[in-house]
Amino acid sequence: MSFTACLLLLLGVAVIASDLWLARRIRAAIAANRMPLPGFEDYRSGGSPIGIAYNVTKLRKLPAVSELSDPDLIAIKRHARVHYLFVVLLGACLLGLLLLQLVADPSSPGSVDP
């Protein structure tokens, strides 16, 4: 297995695990009534690339963190930042792999024969 394939596999697993853990953390904070987050009562793990993308856009609606914020909210915001990082890294690797395939394969549909 090539380095790129291993990297994509690891980042994919990291994104899925992070999404599962973040959903669990949000649901636990809401269920314990420690943190009222309107709009997050039905927050679930994405389970698919479209679901994970939907969750990433929904995470932007988390309230801002201040010094007096609840420790759960601070932990969730930090976890959301790490989750963003994993998603961006996975997207960048997929895009880079696609570009490498297009450049390396001269018989691709967009190439011109000399």
pLDDT in tens, 45-96: 887 888 888 888 888 888 888 777 788 888 889 999 999 999 999 999 889 8
Whole-prediction pTM value? 0.78
Question: Is the C-alpha dihedral spanning 55, 61, 67, 70 positive or negative?
Answer: negative
Residue 44, CA atoms < 13 Å, CB-side half-sphere: 6
DSSP per-residue string spanning 27-62: HHHHHTTS---TT-TT-----SHHHHHHHHHHHTTS
- Report yes or no: 65 and 45 within 8 Å, Cβ to Cβ: no
Determine the pLDDT at residue 6.
Answer: 87
Q: What is the C-alpha to C-alpha distance for residues 112 and 106, in angstroms, rounded to an integer?
A: 8
